[in-house]
Every structure is written in C-alpha cells, then in structure tokens.
Amino acid sequence: MHILAFLIRRAVQAVIVMFVISLIGFSIQDNLGDPLRELVGQSVSEEERDALRDELGLNDPFFVQYVRFLGNAVQGDLGTSYFFKRPALEVIMDKFPATFELVLGAVFIFVTVSIPAGIYCAIHRDSWFARIIMTGSIIGISIPVFLTAIFMVWLFGVELGWLPAFGRGDTVALPWGWDTGLLTLDGWSHLILPSITLSSIMLPLFIRLIRAEMLETMGTDYVRFARAKGLSTSRVRYVHAFRNTLLPVVTVGGLMIGTLIAYTILTETVFQWPGMGFLFLEAVNRVDTPLIIAYIIVVGLIFVVVNTLVDFVYTLINPMVKLPGAKA
C-alpha cells in the first residue's frame, strides 16, 4: 500500500514537471522564429500569408494552440527540423544511442573507480596513497570538464597519437534501429577518451562523499556491535558499513543527473561525439527551433524517468525507509 501511494505521488510529480517543460517548449515555439518564413520564404504576399496563418492555426488563441501542441507532442510529433527537413523527434532519437553509450561508459568507469577509492580512503585514511587521492580530488573538482576534455584530446589524440579523439568510429546497426559502437574495436577505442572525461568530473565528488559517509557509518553503534559479535572485519566493512554509505550516494547520484546531461553537451562538443548534446548546440547555432524544443522535451523526460527510478531504488535499498506520503 505504501509503495502504491509513493508511486502515485511520484507519478503526479512527474506529470507536473513534464507539464511545465511542455509549457516552456510551447512558449519557445510561439515566440522564437516564424514558421511561415521557414515554410514559404519572403516572396509570398501579405494576404496569402494571412490565409496560410489561418490555415495553420497560428491565429488561434494561446490555449487552443497549446492543446494542439500537447496533443501532437503526446503522439510523438514535435515538429519538423528546419535544417534536416525531418521530424525533430526522429533526428534526436537517431543521436540517442551515441549519448547513451557515452554515459554508460562514464558510469562504468565512475562506479569501478569511485567506490574502491572511497572505501580505501576511509579505511586507510592516514596512508600516503589516501592523502594523494584526497589532494587529487580537490584539484579534480577545480578543473572544468571541458578542460579535461581538451587536455585528453591534446595529450592522447595529438601529442601521443594513441587514441582517436574525434567522433564515434565504426558503428554497427542493430535490428531495432540502434547504432552501436560497442561491437567494433574502433568504436571502443573512440569511446575511451570521452567516457573518461565525462566520468572525471563526478569522480572527486563521489570519492569524497563515499569516504565521508563510510567514516561516519564505521563509527556508529551497529557497526561496532557487529564487530563485537565476532563478524569478520571485511564482512563488517563491506556488508554492514558500505551498504549504508550507498544511500547518500544514490541520493546525490539522483541529484547529479541534470548535471551529467549538461556535461554530455560539453564532452560531446570537444570530442565531436555525434550525440544529442552536440546536435543541440548545432541546433542553437542554426536557430532550429523544433529541434531545440525536441531536445528540451526529450531531456526533460529522461530526467524525470531517471529521477523517479532513483527514488524508487532508494526506497528499496534503505532498510528503514519511510516512504513520503505514508504514515509512519
């Protein structure tokens, strides 16, 4: 029952957020650029323009136009890109696999590095290696992601020439219309630098967070009792203490999704990675309004879905969860 109440509450929240995003999307469409000019150019007379405007429904009241926009959006019609002359949603979704695989690579690096490093720094807090990691992490926090990217391109791409620094390399088309770079060696080698870059900005933050949480839980009563009960040190550390450091990590992770999406734009720009972020910046430079709107709506949807999932996972792994909205 509690889970159900929680799910309904989250669903309502998600709908409200999507409603606000759709309003923003619509007001952009309403105010930015003139669809008539894109359609017919300059040479059409004023009467014809008016007739066309009526026909397209551009003279309807705001509310009517918004409902039409929403109706189309729900059916997956977000307008036609001015530049590509194709449905905007289709153009965006073509680029989705590239961004998804980049994020996947980054998350993989980031989980396999930050968790061991954070635990190590908590357990051996005074060792010289832990100190190096902690000092490195404050320097890491101070380096913007695009500088890491430029440095990677310069060092490994230009100076050493070890790894390709631009694009995605060879991709293989999967039957459901998904171009993957993960099935070719070339694709993997292209993925390395961008995903290291994308993970680098989150790493220091999470190493510090995991270390701090781990230190705190290791001092709590239940961990000390577990040890007193005779459980092995490693069991206490990794099962009892670490499990509870996961909670704040998941929470902060959820908060970082928006930031992660923003960093994909920066990373993709430097590496010319053909993903959604790179496409978005191109669309901005070309004032391709339907594409800008489609990006905002797709990203908003991803954001809402992932956030809801994160909240859900949180309730699953928290042993003493108090679901919001449920009576304790």
Partner 1 sequence: MISWRGVFKRFLSDPVAMAAGLVLLVLVLMAALAPLLAPQNPYDLMQLDIMDSEMPPAWKPGGDERFLLGTDSQGRGVLSTIMYGTGISLLIGLGAVVVQGVLGITIGLLAGYKGGWIDAFLMRLADIQLSLSTLMMAIIALALFNAAFDANTYADYAIIMLIVVIGVAEWPKFARTVRSSVLGEKNKEYVDAARVIGLPARRIMWGHILPNTLTPVLVISTIQVAEAIMIEASLSFLGLGMPTDRPSLGSLIRSGFEFIFSGSWWITFYPAIVLVVLVLALNLLGDWLRDVLNPKLRRGDN
Q: Kindly identify the residues of this chain, within the stretch 19-48, that bind partner 1 according to CB under 8 A.
A: 28, 31-33
Does 266 participate in binding partner 1 (rule CB under 8 A)? yes
Show the site string, 82-121: x = touches partner 1 by CB under 8 A, - = not.
----------------------------------------
Q: Kindly identify the residues of this chain, within the stretch 287-316, that bind partner 1 according to CB under 8 A.
A: 287, 289, 292, 296, 299, 303, 307
Please say which residue, 14 or 93, places its beta carbon nearer to partner 1: 14
Please say which residue, 226 or 276, places its beta carbon nearer to partner 1: 276
Sole window of 108-116, 174-182, 217-225, 260-268 interacting with partner 1 (rule: CB under 8 A):
260-268
Show the site string, 135-154: x = touches partner 1 by CB under 8 A, - = not.
---xx-xxxxxxx--x--xx
CB distance 310 to 257 below 8 Å: yes
Does 205 participate in binding partner 1 (rule CB under 8 A)? yes
Residues binding partner 1 (CB under 8 A): 17, 28, 31-33, 138-139, 141-147, 150, 153-154, 158, 205, 208-209, 212-213, 248, 252, 254-259, 261-263, 265-266, 269-270, 280-281, 284-285, 287, 289, 292, 296, 299, 303, 307
